[in-house]
Amino acid sequence: MSTAYTNNKARFPNVPEATAREQIRAQLQQQRQMERRTAYTRELRTRYDVRVLIEPYRVPVELAQAPVRGNPKATVTVVEFSDFQCPYCQRVRPTMSRIRELYSDRVRFAFRHYPLDFHPQAQKAGEAAACAGEQGKFWEMHDRLWDNPSKLGVEDLKLHAQALGLAAPEFATCLDSGRFADAVEADMRAGQEYGVSGTPAFFVNGRPLVGAMPFEAFQQVIEDELVRTGAKTRTASQ
């Protein structure tokens, strides 16, 4: 636990150490539980010809005005509620990239904002992504923010916009005016209605996955969804 706190304390500015440690502890415990559950389920599926016929629990998550990346007709939709200052959201980026590479046009991704109040730069970072989206580059800004977790101040956000080739005056006006502040906050309220209490939180065709889960946890749900819909599956070895 001490190592985990040391490795992540820079991502909890202005947060009391006890609070940060509790957040880290809860996330690690949740992740370990999911990893054990996933491994056990995978073992059972491998050992026996298991077919789950019971309809899984789903939350009717709406895309609303969320930006979407991927095939609009994809069989599986992954909706992410996230916070650009969240270390666990950062940790799951390689998993998201791996899913995109492996499943290609069978999975699409939607992003909804959930800035935690103890991450003081998260709100404006979310607004910056939305302002970039106004110029057609939400996902470019999305990726750049994850690549630069220590550069989320307002001036940093404007420099990111310049680096992406956005119209700087228009972006600055959008960001400084708080044009998308209400939209970001509306996403958070919607997330709370869906049961989100921390980040990252995912809904795979409405099936919740909470925390920075390993690739295998997502794979299990995605493969099951592909089977249920009659789509072809593809294992990680293919």
Nearest to 202 by CA among 192, 211, 189, 214: 211
Checking if the pLDDT of 14 tops 70, the result is no
Topology adopted by domain 2-228: Glutaredoxin (3.40.30)
Contact predicate 135/170, CB 8 Å:
yes
Q: Which of 106, 40, 107, 102 is nearest to 79 (CA)?
A: 107
* Mean confidence (pLDDT) of the chain: 87
- Euclidean distance between the first and final Cα of the chain, in Å? 36
pLDDT in tens, 15-68: 677 777 777 777 667 666 656 665 666 566 567 666 656 789 999 999 989 999
* pLDDT class of 177 with cuts at 50, 70, 90: very high
Q: What tens digit of pLDDT does each residue of 143-176 get?
A: 999 999 999 999 999 999 999 999 999 999 999 9
% of the chain with per-residue pLDDT over 70: 79
One-letter amino acid identity for 42?
Answer: R
pLDDT recorded at residue 25: 73
Instruction: Report which residue type is found at 167.
Output: A
Mention every residue, 6+ apart, whose C-beta is less than 8 A from residue 15.
23, 118
Own/partner long-range contacts of 159-166 (Cβ < 8 Å, ≥24 apart): 160/128, 161/128, 161/131, 161/132, 164/132, 164/137, 164/140, 165/137, 166/132, 166/135, 166/137
Question: Could you state, in order of their start, the residue ranges of all structural domains in the chain?
Answer: 2-228
Which residues on adjacent β-strands are paired with residue 207?
204
**For the segment 68-87, what is each residue's pLDDT rounded down to a tens digit?**
999 999 999 999 999 999 99
